[in-house]
Structure 1
Amino acid sequence: MKLVILGATGGIGRQLVDRALAAGHDVTAVVRDPARLTARPVRVVTADLAAADPAALRDAVGGADAVLSGLGPRSAADVGVATRGTRAALSAMAAAGVRRIIVVSAAPVGTVPSPGRPNPPRHDPGEGFVMRHVLTPAIKRVLRGNYADLAEMEEVLRDSAADWTVVRPPRLTDGPATDGYRVAYGRNLRRGFTVSRADVAGLMLRLLDRPDSIGQVVGVAN
């Protein structure tokens, strides 16, 4: 497949590039700083997705089979990059006739309000007592801005005509690829506290061949 990877120098983005190349895919990496991209051979497109200019992405996505996004705010200064970058990507995809996009979000986001969804469910159906009443509320307080950005990003996808899939992992680790992770559609995983970035990338690539994942939120955890 011809794949476009957004945020290709981030933690999940690097894993996506490496695993996609190992699987024989044709990869275009969209990055702000090409010097940080070590994987080759890939086509590199330089674009600041925080600036959200769809024109900068049109050539990148033209002829692609799918777009994979590891975009997400790494700090308070980056809040907004997921929403703006995804909106720009969707605009470029629509202009180029590309429909498939798979993005990374986060496990707590299903209960985070967004402008078009001000009253989300109070709890995720897959969460146990500790996650529901202790861990998730604490994490959401600390990362309020980050999750608000991801929640709005998900809303942008839901309102689009794209064939989207949202992957919601819990706390990410730098562990190796195991492919022994658990997956659930429409909910988080009970006792699913961590998952490696490598496994999230592996799942995203597998979902390319899963049409039943279109229009779905997919929980993943060890």
Structure 2
Amino acid sequence: MKITVFGATGGIGRHLVDQAVAAGHEVTAVARQPGRLAGVPVRVVAADLATADPATLRAAVAGADAVLSGLGPRSAVDAGIAARGTGAIVEAMRESGVRRIVVVSAAPVGVVPSPGRPHPPKRDPGDGPLMRFVLGPAIRRVLRRHYADLALMEEILRDSGLDWTVVRPPRLTDKPLTGAYRTAYGRNVRGGLTVSRADVAQLMLHSLDQPESVGRTVGVAN
């Protein structure tokens, strides 16, 4: 399969690249710092999704069977990058005739409002009391700009007409790949507080072979 990975040098993006290459896929890796992929057997495209040239993005996705995006804000300075970057990716995909995209979001986003979804559910059906009443509100308060960005990104995908899947992990860790993560469609995983970046990447890759995941959000946790 021909796969284009955006955010290819990020925490999840690098796992996506390495796992896709190991699985024998033909990978195009899009990154702000392409030098960090030196020696990796992929086609590298240098692009900053905040200011990327549309022609560069079209060239990056042209001929791909699917797009995987690990794009997301790493700090307050990056707030807004997920929505802006995903909007640019969606436009490039439409113009290039590529339909399948899997992106990473975050577990709390299901209850975060966006312009087209101003009144989301007050509680995620997968969250237990600790997450609903203690951890969730505190996390959303501290990271409200990040989650607002991701909520808008999800809205862009819902309106895109593409075959999208959104993966929503809780707190990310750098623990090794286990393959033993739990998943749930349309809700968070009950009692799931953490998941490794490597496991998230594996789920995103596996989602490409799961047509039932198209047009749906997927909760994941170890």
What secondary structure, in the 3-state scheme, does the structure 1 residue paired with 2:5 have?
Answer: strand
Number of the residue aligned with 1:79: 79
The one-letter code sitting in structure 1 at the alignment partner of 2:46 is T
Counterpart in 1 of 2:103? 103
Are the counterparts in 2 of residues 164 and 215 from structure 1 also a CA contact under 8 Å? Answer: yes
Question: Contact 1:17 / 1:39 at 8 angstroms: preserved in 2?
Answer: no
1:54 Cα shift? 2.5
Q: Which stretches in structure 2 are left out of the alignment for 5+ residues?
A: none
Work out the CA distance in 1 between the residues paired with 2:59 and 2:170: 33
In the TM superposition, residue 214 of structure 1 has moved relative to its aligned partner by 0.2
CA contact (8 A) 1:106 1:170 kept: yes
1:126-165 deviation line (CA, Å, top 9, x unaligned): 0000010000100001101000000000000000110000
Counterpart Cα distance in 2 of 1:45 and 1:125: 40
* Partner of residue 199, structure 2: 199
Q: Say yes or no: does 1:60 pair with 2:51.
A: no
Tell me the number of residue pairs that the alignment of Structure 1 and Structure 2 aligns: 222
Dislocated runs of 4+, deviation >6 Å:
none
Q: Verify the 8 A CA contact 1:52 1:84 in the aligned structure 2.
A: no
Shift of 1:37: 2.1
Q: Do the aligned residues in 2 keep the contact of 1:28 with 1:44 (CA within 8 Å)?
A: yes
Aligned equivalent of 1:129: 129
Q: Extract unaligned runs of 5+ from structure 1.
A: none
* Structure 1 residue 39, shift from structure 2 partner: 5.4
Q: How does 1:24-43 map to 2 (within 5 A)?
A: 24-38=24-38, 40-43=40-43
Q: TM-score, normalised by structure 1?
A: 0.98
Aligned mates of 1:212, 1:55 — CA distance in 2: 32
Structure 2 match to 1:190:
190
CA distance in 2: counterparts of 1:56 and 1:115, whole angstroms: 29
1:180 alignment counterpart: 180
RMSD, aligned CA = 0.8
User: Match of 1:113, SS?
Assistant: coil
Contact 1:53 1:88 in 2 (8 A): no
